[in-house]
A and B are shown apart, each in its own frame.
Chain A
Amino acid sequence: MHTKRIIPCLDVKNGRVVKGINFVDLKDAGDPVAVGAAYDKAGADELVFLDITASSDSRNIVIDMVRKVAETIFIPFTVGGGIRTVDDFKAILREGADKISVNSAAIDNPHLISEAADKFGSQCVVVAIDARRREDGSGWNIFKNGGRIDMGIDAVEWAMKVDKLGAGEILLTSMDCDGTKAGYDIELTRIISENVSVPVIASGGAGTKDHFYDALTVGKADAALAASLFHYKELEIMDLKQHLRDRGLSMRMC
Chain B
Amino acid sequence: MISILDYDAGNIKSVEKALEYLGEKALITRDKDVILSSDKVILPGVGAFGDAMGKIREYGLDKVIYDFVDSGKPFLGICLGLQLLYKTSEESPEATGLGILDGEILRIPDAPGLKIPQIGWNSLSITPGSKLFKDVPENSYVYFVHSYYLKSRDIKDVAATTDYSVNIHASVERDNVFACQFHPEKSSSVGLQILKNFIEL
Whether the Cβ atoms of B121 and A71 lie closer than 8 Å is no
Q: A1-B163, A71-B17, A71-B21 are in contact. Are A123 and B187 (CB under 8 A)?
A: no
Whether the Cβ atoms of A94 and B122 lie closer than 8 Å is no
A121 and B146 alpha carbons, distance in the complex (Å): 10
Q: A76-B143, A252-B141 are in contact. Are A3 and B10 (CB under 8 A)?
A: no
Determine whether B13 belongs to the interface, using a CB cutoff of 8 Å to chain A: yes
Determine whether B30 belongs to the interface, using a CB cutoff of 8 Å to chain A: no
A residues less than 8 Å from B117 (CB atoms)? 122-123, 168, 198
Whether the Cβ atoms of B116 and A254 lie closer than 8 Å is no
Determine whether A178 belongs to the interface, using a CB cutoff of 8 Å to chain B: no
Q: A74-B21, A252-B141 are in contact. Are A93 and B120 (CB under 8 A)?
A: no
Count B-side interface residues using an 8 Å CB cutoff: 36
Determine whether B47 belongs to the interface, using a CB cutoff of 8 Å to chain A: yes
A51 and B147 alpha carbons, distance in the complex (Å): 30
Determine whether B201 belongs to the interface, using a CB cutoff of 8 Å to chain A: no
B residues less than 8 Å from A74 (CB atoms)? 14, 18, 21, 185-189, 191-192
Count A-side interface residues using an 8 Å CB cutoff: 34
A168 and B115 alpha carbons, distance in the complex (Å): 10
Whether the Cβ atoms of B120 and A123 lie closer than 8 Å is no
Chain A 176-222 residues near chain B, CB threshold 8 A = 197-199, 220, 222
Q: How far is the CB of A98 from chain B (nearest CB, A)?
A: 6
Ranked nearest first, the 3 interchain pairs of A and B with the lowest CB-CB distance are A252-B141, A96-B13, A252-B121
> Can you pick out 7 interface pairs between chain A and chain B where the beta carbons lie within 8 Å of each other?
A71-B20, A74-B186, A76-B183, A120-B47, A124-B11, A199-B115, A254-B141
